[in-house]
Chain A
Amino acid sequence: MDLKFADAAKVSDDERAAVDGLLGPAGTGWEGGTERTDEDLRWARGGAAARDRRDLLLPALHAVNDRVGWLSEGALDYICRRLTVPPAEAYGVATFYSMFSVKPRASKVLHVCTDLACAARGGSTALAEGLGPDVAVQPSPCLGLCERAPAALLLQAGAPSRGSAPPAPRGSAPDPAPQSPAGLGVPGGAEYYATAVIAPAGVEAVVSAVNAPQHAPDEPPAAAAVPQAGDPGLVLLKRVGLVDPTSLDDYRANGGYAALRRAFAIGPAAVIREVTDAGLLGRGGAAFPTGRKWQATASQPDHPHYLVCNADESEPGTFKDRVLMEGDPYALIEAMTIAGYAIGAHQGYLYLRGEYPRALERLGNAIARARARGLLGEDVLGQGYAFDIEIRRGAGAYICGEETAIFNSIEGYRGEPRSKPPFPVEKGLFGKPTAVNNVETLVNVLPILTGRAEETKLFCLSGNVGRPGVYELPFGATLRELIELAGPPGAMRAVLLGGAAGSFVRPDELDITLTFEGTRAAGTTLGSGVVLVLGDTVELPRILLRIAEFFRDESCGQCVPCRVGTVRQEEALHRIKDRTGADAADDIVLLREVGRAMRDASICGLGQTAWNAVESAIDRLGAYE
C-alpha cells in the first residue's frame, strides 16, 4: 500500500484520547505517536498483522464521533495510521454512515424521526425549531420507537465519564458506549457523552433533553411497549416486564439458561435437528429455514465458523427486536450461545443498530455479567466449549441489515451487499462460514429446546391504533384479530404489512391469516412483522413519497437500477402527489417500468423490494385513481 498520511500533529488531544481509549496508546512514531525516535526509523510494523485490525475501523470512528461529534481530517488520519488503512478508504467508510459527519458540527445532534408512524403523529424537524446553533438537527428514518411516536434521539458528544470502565482487550471488547453519570460536567466546561431518547417528543421534552441530556427523564420500561405484558400465553415476550433486565440471577430464576443446558446435554447435531423439526423460519424478513442454515454452516470444512446476530432493525415500523433486547437481554445472549454451539462457532458478533442506546447498555451489561459467571468465555458452563460475543454498533445505514452488507460493515468496509453466490454459510464474515440470524429468530430457539406448545410471531403495531406496541400471537391468527387487540381506528384506509419493503392491504382483506404462507397466498408478506394501520384521514400519496424517500436515502449506491431507479421513483411520486387519473397515468407507467427493472436487476433485496409498497398501493388501494 502507498499509504500517505497528513501531518500527524493535526489530531487533537481529545481525538487521540478517543482512539487510544479503544486501541491503546500508539506504540511508535509510525503509528502516529507523538515522537518519532531513532529507534522507530530502524523498523516498521506492517503487513498482514497490521491489516488484520481493519475491523476496528468502525469502532474507532464511533469512538471519535462519540467524543467530539464529528470526524476531522486529523482524526481520520490518526485512525488510519493506527490501523494501516488507506485514508481514501476510511473516508469512503466514514461517509457511508449517516450518524457520522466529516464536516464540523455541533456536539449535540438531535435525530428527529420523520418516518411513517412518527410523521402521522406530528414528527417533524419543526419540533426542533429555535433550538439554536449548539445543536445539529438531522431528520432520521424510523428510529424504532413507533409505539411512542413521535420520537427523537439526542446524542451529546463528550468524554466518557470517570466511572466508566476502560475498554476491554481486543476479542472480548463489547464496544461499550461511554455512559455518563447524571449532572457531571467535564472540567473546563466540556460535556460528558450522553444520550437521550425522547418519545413521545413534544417541543418541551425536546428542549429540556437538549439542554441537559443527562437529566432527561428515564424511558418507560420496555414492558410499556408490550400491551399483553404478563399474559400467561406469551412465549417470546414472557419475561419482558417480569424480570429485571439487568439481573442475571433474575433471568436464571425465571427459566434462563435451561435451554443452553439442554443443548449441551443433547449435542450440536441434535440441537440443529430440533430446530429443523420445529420448522423455524427466519424472522428477519426472508423466512429462510433456520435449521437448514445452521446445518449448512456447521458442515463446512473451513474454519473458524462465525455467528452474526442481526440486530440492525431498521425496517420502518419495526421495533420488536429492540423490545426483546431491552426487556430480556440475557435471552438473546443465551440463544446466541446455543446457535454458536450448534454451528461450531467460538465467536459471535451482535450487530446492533447504532440508534439503540438502551439496548446497547443492557446487552453490554448482560454480556459482561454472563462472562463473569462463566456463561461466556473460554469454558461455557464448564462444558469445555468456548464462546464469546462482541457487540458492533451500526452507524445509521439500513442496508447494513442485509446479510452480506453486515459482514462488510463489521470488517471495516463500506456496508455494500456482496454478490451471491458464494452464500454466507460458505463464505461469510472474514470469508469464513457464517450463520446470520435475526434477534427474534434466535430467541425462538429457547422455547424450541425447552418444549413449547405453539409457535408464535411478534408483530409491531403502529399508526392509528389505540394501543400501539409489540404483540405476540400464535401463527394462524388473522390480521383482523391482531388489529382488534390493538384497538382499530374508526375508519381504516389501509394497512401496511411487512414494512417499507412490504405491501398495503385493504380494510376488506383483514381475514388474511398471519402466517408466511397465508400472507404469500394473499399476495403480501409478513416481512419483519410490521403492521402499520392507516386511518381514513391519511394522505396516501404523502406516505408513498416518504417510502420512496426512504429507499432513495438508504440505497447503498452500488448498482444502477437501485441507485438511480430509487431517485426516479421518488421524482415521479413527487410529480403526482396531487394528481389522479389521466394526469398521473404517464408517471404510473414510468413507475411500473422502472420498478420492474429494479425488482429484476438490482443486486440485493433493497432495490428488489423498493417498489413493492408503492405498486401495491396503486394496484390494491387504487392510489391516484
Chain B
Amino acid sequence: MTVVPLQPPRRLVEFTLDEQPVRVPEGSTILDACRGAGKDIPTLCEGDTLTPKNACRVCVVEVEGARTLAPACSRRAEAGMTVRTDTERARHSRKIVLELLASSTDLSTTPRAAEWIKEYEAKPARFGADAARVNEEPKVDNELYVRDYDKCILCYKCVDACGEQWQNTFAIAVAGRGFDTRISTEHDAPLTDSACVYCGNCIEVCPTGALSFKTEFDMREAGTWDEAAQTETTTVCAYCGVGCNLTLHVQENEIVKVTSPHDNPVTHGNLCIKGRFGYQHVQNRM
C-alpha cells in the first residue's frame, strides 16, 4: 500500500557526496542520501521505524572540516557540506567497530555481519582468547519470546520501541554502565514480573536476533531452523478493527514467527500480543 502523506513540499539541500553533487529533501540524513545514490553503508543500530541512537558507529563517514567522523544514520545533510563515505579513515573505524563487537558479542544471527567482517577485513580474533566478552546466558522466562543478551549489541532499539517511541510500556531499559551495560527489567526480574505486555515490538526491531520468538529459539537450538525453507505471507489480523498487517513466516506448514511490514502507514510494524503471538488456533488441526 502506498500512501502519499499530505505535507508541504520540502526544500532540497545540495551537497557533495563522494565527489558527486547530490540533492536531497531538507531533513534527510547522509544515510538517506547514500541510499538514494545506491551506496551501501553498513548500519547496525539504525532502524527504519525509530529515531537512530547512533550508538554502534559502524556507519561513520568523513565530513570535510569536522574533527571527528559523523554517523551517517543521524547526521542531517547540510547545504554545501562535503562528505566522503569510503575513505581509509572511515573504513578504519568501521573495521575496528566490527572487530570490537564481534570480539565481545555473538553476531551469528546478525544479518550481514559476516559479510561486512569480510569486506572490511576485520579480525576479531586478534584481541586474543582472553578478550572480555559479555558472556550472557539466554533468558527463557516465558513461553513467547527469548532474550539472548549474548547477542545484544546495545543498539537501544528495543528500549526505544518499548518506551516512548512506540509502545509506551517501558518494561525494559538500559541498566549498568560501560562494558557492564545490559538491557534489563527492574532488578533484572523475569519478564513475567515486569510491565511487559508481550507485544513483541522489541523483537520486531532487534537487529541481531538477541530477541526472538521462542519457536525460533527452540528450532535454532534443535538445528531445524531453515529460513530458506520458509514462506512469508502477509495478511490482515482478524482480532480487531484496527486491521494490522501480519506477515506469517511458515516452515513445514507451521507458523514459526510473525512480523509486520514496517511500511504500513498506521502501525509501522508494531503489533499487540494477539496479532504477534495469538496464532495457535490457526494450526489447531483437530
**B-contacting residues of A (Cβ < 8 Å)?**
1-4, 73, 76-77, 86-92, 95-96, 98, 102, 397, 414, 419, 552-561, 563-568, 571, 575, 590, 593-594, 596-597, 599-603, 608
Q: Is the CB of B57 within 8 A of A553?
A: no
With a cutoff of 8 Å between Cβ atoms, the chain B residues found around residue A98 in the complex are 177
Q: Is the CB of A95 within 8 A of B68?
A: no
A320–B71 Cα distance when bound, in Å, is 36
Q: Cβ of B194 < 8 Å from any Cβ of A?
A: yes
A568–B93 Cα distance when bound, in Å, is 15
With a cutoff of 8 Å between Cβ atoms, the chain A residues found around residue B104 in the complex are 564, 567
Q: Is the CB of B168 within 8 A of A599?
A: no
A95–B180 Cα distance when bound, in Å, is 10
Q: Is the CB of A560 within 8 A of B177?
A: no
Q: Is the CB of A556 within 8 A of B170?
A: no
Q: Is the CB of B173 within 8 A of A558?
A: no
What residue in chain A is nearest B58 (Cβ atoms)? A560
Sample (29) of A-B pairs whose CB atoms are under 8 Å apart: A1-B169, A2-B169, A2-B197, A86-B163, A88-B171, A88-B194, A89-B163, A90-B186, A95-B176, A397-B177, A419-B54, A557-B174, A558-B55, A559-B55, A559-B56, A560-B56, A561-B96, A561-B100, A563-B179, A564-B104, A564-B179, A565-B100, A567-B104, A567-B132, A568-B127, A571-B127, A596-B93, A600-B69, A601-B97
With a cutoff of 8 Å between Cβ atoms, the chain B residues found around residue A73 in the complex are 186-187
Most buried by A among B126, B168, B195: B195
A596–B99 Cα distance when bound, in Å, is 14
Most buried by B among A95, A564, A608: A564
Besides the known contacts A560-B153, A601-B69, 17 further A-B residue pairs in the complex with CB atoms under 8 A apart: A2-B171, A4-B195, A91-B185, A98-B177, A102-B187, A397-B177, A419-B71, A555-B177, A557-B178, A558-B154, A560-B55, A564-B100, A567-B104, A568-B103, A568-B127, A596-B96, A597-B96
Cβ contact of B130, chosen from A571, A590, A600, cutoff 8 A = A571
Kindly list the 5 A-B residue pairs having the minimum CB-CB distance in the complex, ordered from nearest: A86-B170, A557-B181, A597-B96, A564-B100, A87-B186
Q: Is the CB of A563 within 8 A of B181?
A: yes
A608–B21 Cα distance when bound, in Å, is 31
Q: Cβ of B131 < 8 Å from any Cβ of A?
A: yes
CB distance from A610 to the nearest CB of B (A): 11
CB distance from A562 to the nearest CB of B (A): 9
Q: Cβ of B267 < 8 Å from any Cβ of A?
A: no
A1–B153 Cα distance when bound, in Å, is 26
With a cutoff of 8 Å between Cβ atoms, the chain A residues found around residue B194 in the complex are 4, 88
With a cutoff of 8 Å between Cβ atoms, the chain B residues found around residue A557 in the complex are 154, 174, 176-181
A594–B131 Cα distance when bound, in Å, is 14
With a cutoff of 8 Å between Cβ atoms, the chain B residues found around residue A552 in the complex are 178-179
Known contacts A571-B130, A590-B127; decide if A603 and B171 are in contact (CB<8 Å). Answer: no
Q: Cβ of B128 < 8 Å from any Cβ of A?
A: yes
Most buried by B among A397, A558, A571: A558
Q: Cβ of B89 < 8 Å from any Cβ of A?
A: yes
With a cutoff of 8 Å between Cβ atoms, the chain A residues found around residue B205 in the complex are none
B113-126 vs A, Cβ < 8 Å mask (1 yes, 0 no): 00000000000001
Cβ contact of B170, chosen from A1, A553, A560, cutoff 8 A = A1
With a cutoff of 8 Å between Cβ atoms, the chain B residues found around residue A564 in the complex are 100-101, 103-104, 179
Q: Is the CB of B55 within 8 A of A556?
A: no
A1–B164 Cα distance when bound, in Å, is 9
Q: Cβ of B92 < 8 Å from any Cβ of A?
A: yes
Interface residues of B in 101-155 (CB under 8 A from A): 101, 103-104, 126-128, 130-132, 153-154
A602–B154 Cα distance when bound, in Å, is 15
CB distance from A92 to the nearest CB of B (A): 4
**A-contacting residues of B (Cβ < 8 Å)?**
53-58, 60, 68-69, 71, 74, 89, 92-93, 95-97, 100-101, 103-104, 126-128, 130-132, 153-154, 163, 168-181, 184-187, 194-195, 197
A553–B197 Cα distance when bound, in Å, is 34
A384–B226 Cα distance when bound, in Å, is 74
What residue in chain B is nearest A553 (Cβ atoms)? B178
**Which secondary structure dominates where chain A touches chain B?**
helix
Q: Is the CB of A96 within 8 A of B177?
A: yes
With a cutoff of 8 Å between Cβ atoms, the chain A residues found around residue B184 in the complex are 88, 91-92
Known contacts A563-B179, A564-B101, A608-B68; decide if A2 and B170 are in contact (CB<8 Å). Answer: yes
A600–B53 Cα distance when bound, in Å, is 17
CB distance from A263 to the nearest CB of B (A): 34
Q: Is the CB of A565 within 8 A of B96?
A: yes
Q: Is the CB of B179 within 8 A of A555?
A: yes
CB distance from B154 to the nearest CB of A (A): 7
Cβ contact of A91, chosen from B74, B128, B131, B186, cutoff 8 A = B186
With a cutoff of 8 Å between Cβ atoms, the chain A residues found around residue B54 in the complex are 419, 559, 603
CB distance from A397 to the nearest CB of B (A): 7
With a cutoff of 8 Å between Cβ atoms, the chain A residues found around residue B168 in the complex are 1-2
CB distance from A415 to the nearest CB of B (A): 9
Known contacts A555-B177, A557-B154, A564-B101; decide if A76 and B186 are in contact (CB<8 Å). Answer: yes
A552–B56 Cα distance when bound, in Å, is 17
Q: Is the CB of A599 within 8 A of B171?
A: no
What residue in chain A is nearest B181 (Cβ atoms)? A557
Known contacts A566-B178, A599-B68; decide if A89 and B170 are in contact (CB<8 Å). Answer: yes
What residue in chain B is nearest A88 (Cβ atoms)? B173
What residue in chain B is nearest A565 (Cβ atoms)? B100
Cβ contact of A2, chosen from B128, B153, B175, B195, cutoff 8 A = B195
A559–B52 Cα distance when bound, in Å, is 12
Q: Is the CB of B93 within 8 A of A561?
A: yes
A487–B231 Cα distance when bound, in Å, is 78
With a cutoff of 8 Å between Cβ atoms, the chain A residues found around residue B153 in the complex are 560
A3–B169 Cα distance when bound, in Å, is 7
Cβ contact of A86, chosen from B89, B103, B132, B173, cutoff 8 A = B173
A2–B54 Cα distance when bound, in Å, is 27
A560–B194 Cα distance when bound, in Å, is 28
What residue in chain A is nearest B170 (Cβ atoms)? A86
A603–B45 Cα distance when bound, in Å, is 14
Q: Is the CB of A560 within 8 A of B100?
A: yes
What residue in chain A is nearest B74 (Cβ atoms)? A419
A557–B132 Cα distance when bound, in Å, is 15
Q: Is the CB of A88 within 8 A of B170?
A: yes
